[in-house]
Structure formats: structure tokens, C-alpha cells
């Protein structure tokens, strides 16, 4: 059938093909209802588009002034689609830049061009090869987006985005990845998250593994398993259950708490440090307390208000603090503090402090103290302890 302008409604039975008269658009003043499969070859416009159990293919632009209601249907649009409210039960395929307003697709949505809308809800899978602009994108299964400008992004399974902005929240049940630099608000991922070109966000919570290539900025970072940032990292606090590695420098205003191992290639600053296993950095400056249960290694030293080293912990690099405590059997190269307590059976190359206590059985190369020195039984010194008028300058 060849149609032009229809002053009223259009009802099309199963299997129809519609062309425009003399290559013109088909303009329906009222509603267009399709009872089954149909193909429309001309630009098409109507008030409401309704279909039941059909496969509709539009080979040119489609403009729907009010709504699309495609029950148990599949819709494909080759040209641009414009509609303020779009509901498709099974599948929607878009091949050009489209504006869909409030969209709800029960199955899958594939868009080759840019997609713009208010809210995009897809029950199954969403793939947008152009840019996506919306307030909210919610997908039950898998979402693959290129450039994004969103307020909220929620995916039940796997979510992938390119570069862009997600202003308020990212929530993914399984795995999330960003192939370009992403600026975001809060991020919560149940499994693994990866950023291929760095990013910037607020609160980041990952249940499993976080991997970042490039610089990463955040307020609060929480990772249940392993965190790796191959660049500079800045934020307020970090909490990691397993291992944490930073390929550049790490600057925190608050607390670093890691259950296992910490490795910082560059310099580090923080408010406090609590590490259950091993800690390493080129240089570390901590405003308050440091607690390390295993090995501690620095190239240029560590400075803090208080430092507590666990039993049999090995320290490489100088320690500088107001108060330093070395556990039983610990070893250190040099310590500088106002109050220094060297535990029993510990081994230290040099101790410089105000009030110094050496535990029984400890071995110390050299002791310089200002006010007092207490020595336990069987402690040994390579050089006799020396009382000085002021503590030697610290190297950190």
C-alpha cells in the first residue's frame, strides 16, 4: 500500500508493506496499529504506535508524538527514532541517532548510533555503539556502552562503558569496566572492576578485584580482595582485605587499612596506616599512627607520630616517630624517636632517642639517648651506649 497523509487512525493487518506516495512521508494524524509483521519503507509519523506479536521494520526515520507500545514484538528502525515514551516487549534495534525519552525494553536493545533519553530500562542486554545520554540506565543482564553522560548506571550482571561521566552512582552486580577515563560519583561493584585509562570518583566499593591503569582519584576506596592502581592515587581513605599495589605515589588524608600486603612504588602520605602483612614504599610520611604486622620496607624512610612493629617484623629503611615500639624478635636498621621501646630478642642497627628501653636478649649496634636508658638482661651492644645533649637529626 502507498500512503501519504492519513487524517485519522491506521490499522494494518499481518504481512503488510507500506510505501510513501511519490517518495513522500507517511503521516498518520492518529494512532498506527499493526496486527502482525510489517515493513514501512518511507519516513513514518504517528501519534501512537501499537503492535501485538509482530516484527516491525522501518527503513527510514520514525517520529511518534506520544508513545510506542510493542507487546510481544520486535521493532527495528533504520533511520532516526524520536519518541517521548517507548515500550518494547522483546527487542528494539536502532541503526541511527535516536531520542527515546522514557524507554522500557523487556528483552534486548541494540543501537548503532547515539542514544538519548530520560530513563533507559532494559531487562536483558543493552548495546550502544554511539554515545549514551540519559538520567538513568538500568539493565538486568549485560550493558555495553561507548561514551556516556549519565546520572545513574545500574546493571545486574556485566557493565562496560567508554569514557565520560556518570554523575551520581554506578551499581553493577558482577563485573564493571571502563575503556576510557571515567568521572563518576559513587561506585559499587559486586565482583571485579577495571579502569583502562584512570578515573575520578567519590566512594568506591568493589567486592573482589580492582585494577586501574593510570591515575585514580577518590574519597573512600574499599576493596574486598585485591586492589591495583598503575599510577598515582589520591583520596581520603583506603580499606583492602587482601593486597594493595600503587604503581605511582599514594596521597591519603585519612587511613590506609590493608589486611595483607601493601606496595607503593613512589612516595606515600596518609593520616594513619594499619597493615596486617607487609608494607613497602619509597618514602612514607604519616600524620598519626603506623601499625605493621609483617615486613616494612622503605628506601628513604618512614616518619609518623607513633610506629608499632609486630613480632619478628623486618624493617628496612629508617623509622622516625615520637614513639616507636618494636615487637619481640623484630629487626630494624635505624630508629629515631622521642620514646623508643625495643622488644626482647629484637635486633637494631642504630637507636637514637630521648627515653630508650632495650628488652632482654636484644642486640643493638649503637644507642644514643638524651634522657634515660633502660636495658634488659642479656642485651648486647656493639658500641657502648652514649648519652647526648640532643637527639641526632633524623634522615626523614
Name the residue range of residue 356's domain: 301-396
Tens of pLDDT, residue by residue, the chain (396 residues): 999 999 999 999 999 999 999 889 999 999 999 999 999 999 999 999 999 999 999 999 999 999 999 999 999 999 999 999 999 999 999 999 999 999 999 999 999 999 999 999 999 999 999 999 999 999 999 999 999 999 999 999 999 999 999 999 999 999 999 999 999 999 999 999 999 999 999 999 999 999 999 999 999 999 999 999 999 999 999 999 999 999 999 999 999 999 999 999 999 999 999 999 999 999 999 999 999 988 999 999 999 999 999 999 999 999 999 999 999 999 999 999 999 999 999 999 999 999 999 999 999 999 999 999 999 999 999 999 999 999 999 888
| Residue 25 lies inside a defined structural domain of this protein | no
| Residue 365 lies inside a defined structural domain of this protein | yes
Q: How far apart are CA 373 and CA 289, in angstroms?
A: 24
| Residue 337 lies inside a defined structural domain of this protein | yes
* Region label for 72, one of left (φ > 0), alpha (ψ between -120 and 50) or beta (otherwise): left
| Residue 314 lies inside a defined structural domain of this protein | yes
The number of domains in the chain is 1
Who's near 217: CB < 8 A, 6+ residues apart?
199, 200, 201, 233, 234, 235
Q: Dmax over Cα atoms in the chain, in whole Å?
A: 108
C-alpha cell at 315: 624493617
| Residue 167 lies inside a defined structural domain of this protein | no
| Residue 367 lies inside a defined structural domain of this protein | yes
| Residue 269 lies inside a defined structural domain of this protein | no
Q: Is 187 helix (H, G, I), strand (E, B) or coil?
A: strand
| Residue 189 lies inside a defined structural domain of this protein | no
Amino acid at each position: 500500500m502507498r500512503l501519504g497523509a492519513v487524517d485519522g487512525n491506521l490499522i494494518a493487518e499481518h504481512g503488510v508493506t507500506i510505501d510513501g506516495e511519490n517518495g513522500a512521508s507517511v503521516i498518520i494524524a492518529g494512532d498506527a496499529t499493526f496486527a502482525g509483521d510489517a515493513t514501512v519503507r518511507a519516513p513514518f509519523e504517528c501519534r501512537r504506535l501499537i503492535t501485538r506479536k509482530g516484527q516491525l521494520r522501518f527503513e527510514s526515520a520514525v517520529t511518534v508524538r506520544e508513545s510506542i507500545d510493542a507487546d510481544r514484538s520486535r521493532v527495528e528502525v533504520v533511520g532516526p527514532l524520536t519518541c517521548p515514551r517507548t515500550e518494547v516487549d522483546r527487542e528494539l534495534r536502532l541503526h541511527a541517532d535516536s531520542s527515546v525519552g522514557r524507554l522500557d525494553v523487556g528483552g534486548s536493545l541494540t543501537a548503532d548510533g547515539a542514544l538519548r533519553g530520560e530513563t533507559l530500562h532494559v531487562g536483558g542486554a543493552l548495546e550502544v555503539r554511539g554515545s549514551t545520554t540519559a538520567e538513568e540506565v538500568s539493565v538486568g543482564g549485560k550493558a555495553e556502552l561507548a561514551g556516556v553522560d549519565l546520572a545513574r548506571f545500574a546493571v545486574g550482571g556485566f557493565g562496560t562503558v567508554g569514557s565520560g561521566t556518570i554523575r551520581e552512582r554506578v551499581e553493577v552486580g558482577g563485573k564493571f569496566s571502563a575503556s576510557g577515563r571515567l568521572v563518576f560519583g559513587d561506585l559499587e561493584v559486586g565482583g571485579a572492576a577495571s579502569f583502562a585509562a584512570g578515573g575520578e570518583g567519590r566512594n568506591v566499593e568493589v567486592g573482589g578485584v580492582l585494577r586501574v591503569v593510570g591515575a585514580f582519584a577518590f574519597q573512600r576506596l574499599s576493596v574486598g580482595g585485591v586492589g591495583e592502581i598503575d599510577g598515582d592515587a589520591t583520596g581520603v581513605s583506603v580499606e583492602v582485605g587482601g593486597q594493595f599495589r600503587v604503581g605511582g605515589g599514594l596521597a591519603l588524608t585519612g587511613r590506609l587499612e590493608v589486611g595483607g600486603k601493601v606496595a607503593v612504588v613512589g612516595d606515600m602520605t596518609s593520616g594513619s596506616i594499619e597493615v596486617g602483612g607487609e608494607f613497602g614504599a619509597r618514602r612514607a610520611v604519616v600524620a598519626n599512627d603506623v601499625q605493621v604486622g609483617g615486613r616494612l620496607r622503605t628506601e628513604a624512610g618512614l616518619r609518623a607520630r607513633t610506629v608499632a612493629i609486630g613480632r619478628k617484623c623486618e624493617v628496612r629503611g629508617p623509622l622516625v616517630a615520637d614513639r616507636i615500639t618494636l615487637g619481640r624478635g623484630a629487626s630494624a636498621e635505624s630508629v629515631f624517636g622521642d620514646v623508643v621501646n625495643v622488644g626482647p630478642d629484637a635486633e637494631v642497627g642504630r637507636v637514637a632517642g630521648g627515653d630508650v628501653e632495650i628488652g632482654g636478649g636484644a642486640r643493638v649496634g649503637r644507642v644514643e639517648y638524651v634522657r634515660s636508658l633502660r636495658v634488659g638482661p642479656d642485651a648486647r651492644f656493639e658500641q657502648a651506649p652514649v648519652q647526648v645533649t640532643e637527639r641526632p637529626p633524623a634522615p626523614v
